[in-house]
A = this chain, B = another copy of it.
Amino acid sequence: MPKRLALGIDIGGTGIKMGFVDRNGRLGQTIRFPTPAKTDPRTMADLISRQARALLAPKSRSLIKGIGVGVAGDINPVTGVIRLSPNLGWRNAPFKALLTRQLHYPIRIDNDANVAAWGAYVLEAKRKVKSLLCVMLGTGVGGGIVLDGKLFRGSTGSAGEIGHMTLYPDGIPCGCGNQGCLERYIGANAMAEAAKRAIETGLTTTLTRMVKGDISKITPLLIYEAARKGDRMALQLYEQAGERLGIGLASVINFMNPDWIVLAGGLSRAGRYILNPLRRTLKKRAFPTPLKAVRLIVSSKDQDLGMIGAGLIAHE
């Protein structure tokens, strides 16, 4: 009998990915398409169901274990209700119910960082460690926790929100109502904002030339390219992001004492630009014993980790 597959669906702020995932996290056929702007839950469920059916049609029904969905926001994994998704602009959307009406497979839905953490646990830690924290450094900053071989969701499925731990108590207001959240300082959006502000104050950088003077076009990817060309401002932005991430992770290392920390998402691809200041800060700020014990890695799956993890939660 061929190996059973799950369909993993990653609903991101800019793109949606879906693909077949076997129980070890190996990826089969995938498709991706842009996230439609300002779509209500029902229209989104229609769109996703249509695409999923097209993928599922040629496969024997008995081959498919189920469907897993990862989406940014405050999700109730038991009821499948998206309580709040700032990216999609949704509140209390019964998204699992909407999908179940059209896709007659077992469906699981969870926070995107939670499914990514599960993906990292199965695929990269090979289920061999007891605890793992996955940090998604994307547009914002998310986190997921695996403990004792299980996804740790906390009391209401909200656990892992490292992006909304306070970095600077008197800092920048955050959309969540708090101020000084980590996400406001090291998310991709935050870095692009910081670049724009620095340029407006008159700093010279190759970034200005790269966007032909239109600083609204500065993206995290461009900052990375500028850093690779040795641009001082870009390098400094990474230095700062790495240090700030280090302040947050040092707190988490002291509090959670995890076996592994896996970094994923756009910023994690900046490699040593961010890892060097990060490691330096951890050494300065975290307790020696838990710091020595923790293994800090960058996910090799990066952009696909969410989709793979979504498929893997459907295998459980």
Contact = CB atoms under 8 A, between A and B. Distances in A.
A216 interface: no
A251 B163 CA distance: 9
Contact of A287 (B130, B176, B244, B259): B176
Contacts of A252: 255
Given A159-B257, A177-B285, A257-B159, A251 B166 contact: yes
Given A161-B255, A166-B251, A255-B159, A290 B154 contact: yes
Given A165-B251, A169-B168, A256 B290 contact: no
Nearest to A153: B257
Copies of this chain in the oligomer? 2
A284 interface: yes
A160 interface: yes
A293 interface: yes
Contacts of A168: 168-169
A162 B167 CA distance: 14
Contact of A165 (B84, B148, B254, B258): B254
A248 B251 CA distance: 10
Given A153-B257, A160-B255, A161-B254, 15 more contacts: A131-B154, A143-B255, A147-B152, A154-B258, A155-B258, A156-B292, A158-B290, A161-B255, A162-B255, A165-B255, A166-B285, A168-B168, A177-B284, A177-B285, A178-B286
A4 interface: no
Given A131-B154, A155-B293, A169-B167, A178 B285 contact: yes
A108 to B, nearest CB: 19
Contacts of A286: 178
B289 A257 contact: no
A294 interface: yes
A162 B165 CA distance: 13
